[in-house]
Structure 1
């Protein structure tokens, strides 16, 4: 008991002593941050105009809406430039368009906890309503390079139609009418390959220099623009924009197949147990045998070698196993065997070299014929060309993109009034992770932070990063100091990566 007594006295004495000690530490003075004044080195931003397509407009989450437009990279730049910047704002934060009260473009996506979902709301922006300009942002979602000089393009593109100065106006003409002192010309060339990519390569590659391909009037909506057509159009645009001494920034074109729309769906998304896999494989046994017979015939009567035949037989043989399985797709680049046997259509299973577009997720595993349980899309029924990009189709996109970028780099290098920003390099870096302040951003859908819920366009934070890359290119080319000046760059934390479904 005595020991406890002394312990209690000892603890009490500690308490008394602690009451007599000053535990307050002197405050550590905050480290002074040097204020660096912005030096634009004589650049004139008093009349800044942006020319481009959906990225320029601030398109995100599959739609145009006010908050996204306010977070567009040109509006971010204008805020840093300290210049007035008028945009053709939508009526709401729902997104989409209506015509005569009926929705003709859907609302924006939001994240519903599982993935992208469309807002359950009716758009309020009437596509025939023409706004009062003049405007500074001439971003026209969907515009290809050669569209920007088409008279009356507003009759074809409702987004431009809302801001066109007249029924016969051109995008470039309206931009030039503002007598810009500074400009950005961005993502020109992106839509020239994007339609082809999003349609799974179902358009036509117009790259060969035939008379038909050199005339865009012959193009379908999903065709790849001929590089020589692009070169002429792009060069003429830059010449026009700099004719009166204006300076500006042009951007090259990323490999769009690196975007979330093309890398989210795995090539083998179909799970099967052993029994189901065996039954499906048995159903394809006759087809596989027919393929072997057809190629044996071709080896006997054509110059095709056995090695060539074996390679294509291996590619076309369809087999399912327990676990994750590749989908069955149509492939127009396979040897056409229907003249030998009409049932031997050009189909095969995907490999890791194929890309399934994001929209295919709504098709794979559904029934092509609701009354036929064997008609599972991607299993019993091959996916149509529009749902997958084969290696050959990917190569067409990359070849055209490389040609566009050669033109862009050449034009920029030959004009002292033009800076070049490497958006292709930015997207390539983001494939594994690019730092923006304290955030690591990637191209992953939903979680990456860079690409919005439509899998193609950027988030607000992505557009802020884009603005900073433009400012850095201005510093390099024109001797300004945006990258080192106090508040000279956009801050990642000021811009969201998604918008609440409550925002209307």
Structure 2
């Protein structure tokens, strides 16, 4: 049958139908379902705080996913949501990176914006010197602490070691004694989000597996602490009725972020061969064993690009990375075996998170699946978004944390999970209101 005839027939029927009856527009009424959002708190690390571009600063805090979620919750009875913002005169916070331009060959020029909220330092016996940030003393709903691992949440001294946590506490380092888990549950709340565990693998990965102290948290200990955290959170804090509901999130596949996908073996060789066409290998120092040629199964870290050291000779005149006697250092490489450790521990942690969520009746946001789905790119409201560095607009300039657009996408996934679990109809965020990477 002729396709034009089919189209015209359908159009005719549509016109007749439209003329015979008035259209009935139905709008979903926001509903809280069987959850209570009157006091929502967010528990987590840098992703929860709004960390971006390798720093915590006011614009990033203003575009955190918990604040976006809380704003949408207000349509279904949600209350006020307080974020530990830096003051306007210290809006650059702990400092961050910005895109200043591009070189003649198209490489990004990234510069550092100085910190404005560093007020000094403190000496912690047995640990050394830690910076101090301007204290935050107001109401608090966003408890995101950059750098915190799950195996830090019960440590009584942790508030003296992590300046992001220290700035939220009443005492000055080294006089803090309250563990993170106790701090976030000190006041009653009705609903929570918890995104913990990312840093239990992230530090090992971003350091090229070169720092023994950053090795992933023991799997059994992770399971024990995650059960403790979830069990404590559902009680609703001090004075709570033990009926708090919440949502938890899995750990993203860090190897799919720009920090590990931007600098490739192919790109390095192409750049070197432009002036030295006979070069056929980039030599690396793996985690164990002798230096060897890199393969496609090894990961080069984003800082290697900024270091700009490939091919530069050492004191003996041996070019960096082009000879086994001067290989790319382990801190710039995650070799195949080390990458396998990251995958193994991430899978184990996520199995625990999913199990604990089910056992406690909590909503689950599968961040691992979400981030992987953007590896090849997706269309969001007509715009192409991917995990590509800078041009993908999902990840900020540090290659790990998100842009405001990325955080809006994450907020919507949380909201969808909450609605599905608790029968609520919290409206999703309009992602078109949020930017990707800021160009000069």
Secondary structure of the residue aligned to 1:149 is coil
Change (3 A) 1:79 1:332: closer
- The partner residue of 2:284 within 318, 329, 332 is 329
* 440-449 vs 84-93, greater mean Cα deviation: 84-93
> Once the 2 structures are TM-superposed, how far is the Cα of residue 165 of structure 1 from its aligned partner?
3.9
Secondary structure of the residue aligned to 2:99 is strand
In the aligned structure 2, how far is the partner of 1:44 from the partner of 1:88? 23
> Once the 2 structures are TM-superposed, how far is the Cα of residue 33 of structure 1 from its aligned partner?
5.6
CA contact (8 A) 2:97 2:113 kept: no
In the aligned structure 2, how far is the partner of 1:48 from the partner of 1:274? 56
Change (3 A) 1:388 1:39: same
Secondary structure of the residue aligned to 2:81 is coil
Change (3 A) 1:232 1:437: same
- The partner residue of 1:107 within 76, 96, 103 is 96
- The partner residue of 2:92 within 91, 95, 102 is 95
Larger Rg: 1
* 384-393 vs 437-446, greater mean Cα deviation: 437-446
> Once the 2 structures are TM-superposed, how far is the Cα of residue 390 of structure 1 from its aligned partner?
1.0
Please show how residues 278-297 of structure 1 align to structure 2 within 5 Å.
278=278
> Once the 2 structures are TM-superposed, how far is the Cα of residue 176 of structure 1 from its aligned partner?
0.6
2:110 maps to 117
Residue 423 (str. 1) matches residue 367 (str. 2): yes
In the aligned structure 1, how far is the partner of 2:114 from the partner of 2:135? 23
- The partner residue of 2:201 within 190, 193, 206 is 193
Secondary structure of the residue aligned to 2:192 is strand
1:413 maps to 358
CA contact (8 A) 1:94 1:121 kept: no
In the aligned structure 2, how far is the partner of 1:274 from the partner of 1:409? 49
Secondary structure of the residue aligned to 2:43 is strand
> Once the 2 structures are TM-superposed, how far is the Cα of residue 117 of structure 1 from its aligned partner?
1.1
In the aligned structure 2, how far is the partner of 1:400 from the partner of 1:201? 13
CA contact (8 A) 1:134 1:178 kept: no
* 359-368 vs 224-233, greater mean Cα deviation: 359-368
CA contact (8 A) 2:251 2:368 kept: yes
Secondary structure of the residue aligned to 1:108 is strand
> Once the 2 structures are TM-superposed, how far is the Cα of residue 415 of structure 1 from its aligned partner?
1.1
Residue by residue over 1:416-450, the C-alpha shift from the partner in whole angstroms, topping out at 9 and shown as x without a partner, is: 2x111111110111111234322232111101111
**Unmatched runs of 5 consecutive residues or more in structure 1:** 1-30, 98-105, 205-219, 279-319, 335-345, 483-487
> Once the 2 structures are TM-superposed, how far is the Cα of residue 499 of structure 1 from its aligned partner?
3.7
- The partner residue of 1:396 within 334, 337, 341 is 341
TM-score normalised by the chain length of structure 2: 0.82
1:375 maps to 318
> Once the 2 structures are TM-superposed, how far is the Cα of residue 192 of structure 1 from its aligned partner?
0.6
CA contact (8 A) 1:51 1:172 kept: no
Change (3 A) 1:363 1:50: same
1:18 maps to none
> Once the 2 structures are TM-superposed, how far is the Cα of residue 267 of structure 1 from its aligned partner?
1.0
Change (3 A) 1:110 1:60: same
2:414 maps to 470
CA contact (8 A) 2:43 2:144 kept: yes
2:295 maps to 351
Change (3 A) 1:154 1:500: farther
> Once the 2 structures are TM-superposed, how far is the Cα of residue 154 of structure 1 from its aligned partner?
2.0
Change (3 A) 1:91 1:274: closer
Residue 260 (str. 1) matches residue 268 (str. 2): no
> Once the 2 structures are TM-superposed, how far is the Cα of residue 161 of structure 1 from its aligned partner?
0.7
In the aligned structure 1, how far is the partner of 2:100 from the partner of 2:247? 34
Please show how residues 21-100 of structure 1 align to structure 2 within 5 Å.
34-82=26-74, 83-91=79-87, 95-97=92-94
In the aligned structure 2, how far is the partner of 1:359 from the partner of 1:478? 43
> Once the 2 structures are TM-superposed, how far is the Cα of residue 481 of structure 1 from its aligned partner?
1.9
> Once the 2 structures are TM-superposed, how far is the Cα of residue 131 of structure 1 from its aligned partner?
1.7
> Once the 2 structures are TM-superposed, how far is the Cα of residue 255 of structure 1 from its aligned partner?
1.2
CA contact (8 A) 1:109 1:454 kept: no
CA contact (8 A) 1:147 1:153 kept: yes
> Once the 2 structures are TM-superposed, how far is the Cα of residue 77 of structure 1 from its aligned partner?
0.6
CA contact (8 A) 1:452 1:458 kept: yes
CA contact (8 A) 2:137 2:168 kept: yes
Secondary structure of the residue aligned to 2:265 is coil
**Unmatched runs of 5 consecutive residues or more in structure 2:** 1-22, 120-131, 236-241
